[in-house]
Amino acid sequence: MVDALMAQPRAAVDTESNSLYTYREQVCLIQISIPGTNYLVDPLALDDLAPLAPFFHSLDVEKVLHAADYDLMVLQRDFGFSTRAIYDTMWAARVLGWPKVGLADILASFFDVQANKRFQRYDWGRRPLHPDALTYAWMDSYYLLPLREIQKAELETTGRWEEAQEIFDYLTSTVDVPPEDSTARHFWRLKGVHALSTHEQRKLYGLFMWRERTAEALDHPPVKVISNANLMRLAAIQPRTKEELAECGLTPGQIRRFGADLLRTIHLRDLPKLPEFPESLRLPEDVVERFNTLKSWRKEVAQVRGVDSDVILPNATLWLLAKQPPASVADLLNVSGIGPWRQKTYGPDILQLLKD
């Protein structure tokens, strides 16, 4: 298979994971399509996928994916694959301003193919895989190569090819693999956590850590134990009875399984110490002000283009510009997310905004 892949100018790639069914997700299937052949690679059956590393790292073989961010991350996390030379059909669709960019919608529109919704939330870690699941899997990669050709023609016609290439390069250079222990980062990113008092935050952290321990013991995703929203309600309301747990949104099954533990955790006298607030989230007011200025400008440009704001520039790039404003147009090329096309197209406006 690797020999055949390395002889191609491009190959379509997709992955399937079991994130909805386990505490620590893993890649359970890799789909790779080339003209005339669809390969399904089973990482659960193979001891070593290292022979695939040169394929993913090659600059000579373009890897065509849809919504590549997640695939690039899990391939690096699980197998150490550093993927280069990609084409992302979802990002191409967004650059072109297509109204629907989900793969199922695109396949239905361009190829009259209806994906089997039964397998959208399938447990890809089970074995044996259902034959229909295998068909669903290879179809996800099979149509990406002809879709690329349709998009390429439109990108070139509209003068967006260079812009799309810069976005693809950015995706491969900013793969974010979460560290093994990312507890603090996940906790401080819970929606609403900063609106709580310090006492409530400590209550919430105790509940958060209880959920992590419980989820790991059950081998379930944490949100399948209790949702983030319900954790927030428990920390804010601090119920004392199982009846009050129900008022916080817990189901009878959750109360039956976890009610006693939850009430003990909520009313512990020795509350846990809060984790350190990540330094990367501490930002001076002038930085935040510059970010908001850039964000407003980006929104206006996107509206004129008829695309989403992050097609113009990603948030991470706006933060870099806000933290260390470049002194010249040439300096913009040192900012991750800005290549020659974006430098030429947006550079003067960005410098003027940061100067003001």
Measured CA to CA, the distance from residue 285 to residue 277 in angstroms comes to 17
For 2-173, which CATH superfamily applies? Answer: Ribonuclease H-like superfamily/Ribonuclease H (3.30.420.10)
Indicate the range of 37-46, 268-277, 306-315, 328-337 predicted with least confidence: 268-277
For 283-355, which CATH superfamily applies? Answer: HRDC domain (1.10.150.80)
Q: Are 208 and 272 in contact (CB under 8 A)?
A: no
pLDDT at residue number 324: 94
Per-residue model confidence as pLDDT tens digits over 199-219: 999 999 999 999 999 999 999
| Three-state SS at 33 | strand
Q: Which CATH class is domain 183-266?
A: mainly alpha
Per-residue model confidence as pLDDT tens digits over 7-63: 999 999 999 999 999 999 999 999 999 999 999 999 999 999 999 999 999 999 999
Going from N- to C-terminal start, the domains of the chain cover 2-173, 183-266, 283-355
Per-residue pLDDT, averaged over 297-301, amounts to 98
Q: Are 51 and 32 in contact (CB under 8 A)?
A: no
Measured CA to CA, the distance from residue 50 to residue 156 in angstroms comes to 36
pLDDT at residue number 89: 98
Per-residue model confidence as pLDDT tens digits over 286-296: 999 999 999 99
Per-residue model confidence as pLDDT tens digits over 164-188: 999 999 999 999 888 777 788 889 9
pLDDT at residue number 281: 64
Band of pLDDT at residue 279, cut at 50, 70 and 90: low
Measured CA to CA, the distance from residue 242 to residue 170 in angstroms comes to 50
Question: Position 320: which residue type?
Answer: L
2-173 with 283-355: one CATH topology?
no
